[in-house]
A and B are shown apart, each in its own frame.
Chain A
Amino acid sequence: MPYRAAGLLMALGGLVAVVGLILIGVDVHAAKQRGPRWKRRLLGAGLAVLGIWGAWFSASRPGSPFKPDVMCCYAPIPMEVGCAGNLRERLPLLEKLIAEAKLDPGVARTALAAAEMDLGRISMHPCSGPGMSAEEMTAIRDLARPIVERLRARLGEPVSLEEAPEWKALTGQWDDAAAALAVEPGAPAFDSQTQQRLADALERLLHADLPRLLGAGLLSEPEARLLELDLVRLSGAVRRARVSDRETTPTVASSGLPVPPAGESARDIGLRAESLKKILASGVAHPAALRRILASVRKDLEVLDRPASYDLMGATERAKAEQIRDAVKAEVEKLKNLLGPAPEDKRD
């Protein structure tokens, strides 16, 4: 524990003890007359030592040159990771360095990709911390967007979703995983090595490629959220799939009861409803992304259209699921208008 925190805890403990003694009505004047003198002196000396320690530790501050709990030569630097809180400064600095040709063009592209990824990540998963309120994040995004656009143009990066290598990777690996999972119920989908490979690839899509597409402005935020939901579901299916070279983990009591198919689909569609509404309200969509999103939504709607899917559901739950289904169906019909003409080599 850091010395300062230990000191503060000690001081707090002492304060609580004094307040406690007052509250329970201890007569301090009478107490100091009772018991053997050596015991009272020992207690007094102990309290004095603790007091001095507490004061000394509390007085030490971060950055003090001789504070052994801070760091020592070649110890790892203390740092917070993942918040990307300095993005508002990072992108203008990157633009300046690229303009001054300080960076190799290849390095500049990778550095921009990393900045876009972090920008996408904080948009999808806001992190708490100083300067990261919702308003601040909006301000960062507003500042970043034109810089990202200028840098992508300058560095010759793809400006459409379909051309972006991350999108190609996303759709390709998504389709690979879906194809691998398409086996007869109960049959092993793949071996454990393939399972690991697919799981790793999906992790990368979720945490790097998808946020980057959002940060680059090639996907909108609701589109990224919808694709994320699909990828999370796919990733879970890959991890849970039966593999050919390992025993399946037996179901245990804590696994809970099986969820009715309609319940699962209603939940997943419910999670999508708000983002679908946002796309509809904006009136703008990236057709390639929307096509994929709607294909996935349709699969859930098909489940919800089958009466047998509701077998394990109560009447109230069923009514709610059907209500969600009907609302989303209506949205899907309207969203079709944003798709434009279907591409010739449509894969989904």
Chain B
Amino acid sequence: MPRQDSFVFEVTQRCNHDCPHCYNAWKNPVDYPMGELPTGETLAMLGELLDETGASLVSLTGGEPMLRPDIYEMVDYLNARRVTVNLITNGGLLDDAAIARLSPGKISVFELPLLSVERSIHDRMSGKAGAFDRATAAMAELKLRRQRVVGVFVATKLNLPTWRETAELAVALGLDGVMFNRFNPGGAGVRNLEMLQASPAEVQAALDVAEEMSGRYELPISCSIAMPPCLFDTKRYKRLGFGFCAAGTARAYYTLDPLGNVRPCNHTPTILGNIRETTFEAMAGSPAMKDFMAARPAFCGGCRLEMECLGGCKAAAEAATGSAWHCDPFLTAFGEDAVRP
């Protein structure tokens, strides 16, 4: 029986924001199935996946998960199953009453966007006026209720100039950590590459700032989107954590959509099957999954880190080009600057 540490559950595809960098799979130019199941069927589906995988951590995301009125029942169900729950939300609907219902102790980590210290930039990157004030209000209230909160900074051309002050805002709000994620094109992001894509030099300079901020303020900062080592010198950072593509391993974050479709990760539009119709074991061992795991771009051939790095984010490659075997769009854009490690 396959064992998975965790999975991501996209509880709804609806969202009250319109982020230009949104990577949601259904925003790709593919015919992605849309819809939601009633509460009872949703809980049964979650139960099946937990029974089969033994997962101990579920990250609830969307769309905007707080748009579903039965989100509390899902959280209670997962808590009753002794599963750790993370909530990835834009914070727009996390008012005092919602926070009171989700605390204390029901959610392990709240992940909210902290896209800039500048209200106008955060709002623009959220596609919603007032998003900054609502997100910061939710973060401050969560901290007052002694919850663990992580701010997510998606590094783009628009907000990178404000990164240092944004990290300081995270400290001022008492956040427990920050995710510094380079913009990873997918979904709506593919259409906005020109506006959003920062250069490796700009991202590297921001990583220098992140290292400094992490040391100065004892602020944990992680970079969860894979950083190709031919474009970024990550070895010089002692304090930052760097992510990698875990697709297919026990630490993979297989993603379940609201209809029960399972994908190798939350960035890819590839559907392996539906948990209501087939077993997780069959999906994890399917030809589509094997192909996803094997995929790496020809660009990486001969690189000594080819099998570890796997060419950055193959889901982004798939979203941008239609094939996971193509280059991560970041490599496509800046491959000529690459220095083989």
Binding site for B on A (CB under 8 A): 61-66, 68, 70-81, 84-86, 89-90, 93-94, 96-97, 102-104, 106-107, 110-111, 113-115, 117-118, 130-131, 203, 207-208
Contacts and interface: CB of A to CB of B under 8 A. Distances in A.
Closest 4 CB pairs of A and B: A72-B246, A110-B140, A93-B172, A77-B177
Contact of B308 (A66, A73, A78, A203): A66
11 contacts: A65-B244, A73-B224, A73-B225, A75-B6, A77-B176, A86-B171, A86-B217, A102-B118, A103-B136, A110-B141, A111-B173
B224 A114 contact: no
Nearest to A98: B172
Interface stretch (B43-51, B235-243, B327-335): B235-243
Contacts of B229: 65
A63 B238 CA distance: 6
Scoring A90, A94, A117, A118 by chain B CB atoms within 10 A of each residue's CB, the highest score goes to A90
Contact of A107 (B140, B171, B219, B238): B140
Interface in B198-254: 216-220, 222, 224-227, 229, 234-235, 237-246, 249, 251-253
Interface stretch (B28-36, B143-151, B153-161, B269-277): B143-151
Contacts of B224: 71-75
B262 interface: no
Nearest to B179: A77
Contacts of A62: 238, 241
B83 to A, nearest CB: 13
Interface string B161-185: 0000000110111101111000000
Given A72-B251, A73-B246, A74-B59, A63 B237 contact: yes
B67 interface: no
A118 B174 contact: yes
Interface string B67-90: 000000000000000000010000
Contacts of A75: 6, 224, 243, 251, 253
B144 A110 contact: yes
A117 to B, nearest CB: 6
B216 A77 contact: no
The prevalent SS among residues of B at the interface is loop
A286 B133 CA distance: 36
Given A71-B222, A77-B179, A79-B176, A111 B241 contact: no
B174 A73 contact: no
Chain B interface extent, by class: 35 or more
Nearest to A85: B218
B309 interface: yes
Contacts, number: 156
Contacts of A86: 171, 217-219
Contact of B227 (A65, A68, A89): A65
A73 B227 CA distance: 11
B173 A68 contact: no
Contact of B226 (A70, A73, A117): A73
Given A72-B251, A74-B224, A86-B217, A79 B177 contact: yes
Contacts of B136: 103-104, 107, 111
B265 interface: yes
B315 to A, nearest CB: 9
Interface in B246-292: 246, 249, 251-253, 265-266
A79 B172 CA distance: 17
Given A66-B308, A107-B137, A72 B253 contact: yes
Given A73-B226, A77-B179, A93 B305 contact: no
A63 B174 contact: no
A80 B175 CA distance: 11
Contacts of A102: 117-119, 169
Contact of B174 (A71, A84, A130, A208): A84
Contacts of A78: 220, 222, 241
A76 B246 contact: no
Contacts of A113: 140, 144
Scoring A77, A103, A114 by chain B CB atoms within 10 A of each residue's CB, the highest score goes to A77
Contact of A63 (B143, B242, B244, B252): B242
A63 B229 CA distance: 13
Scoring A62, A70, A74 by chain B CB atoms within 10 A of each residue's CB, the highest score goes to A74
A97 B172 contact: yes
B222 A93 contact: no
A102 B169 CA distance: 9
Contacts of B169: 93, 97, 102
B317 interface: no
B171 A111 contact: no
Nearest to B142: A114
Contacts of B244: 65-66, 68, 72-73
B268 to A, nearest CB: 11
A115 B174 contact: yes
B148 A79 contact: yes
B179 A104 contact: no
A228 B308 CA distance: 53
Nearest to B143: A114
A94 B172 contact: yes
Given A66-B309, A111-B143, A90 B171 contact: yes
Nearest to A87: B174
Nearest to A94: B172
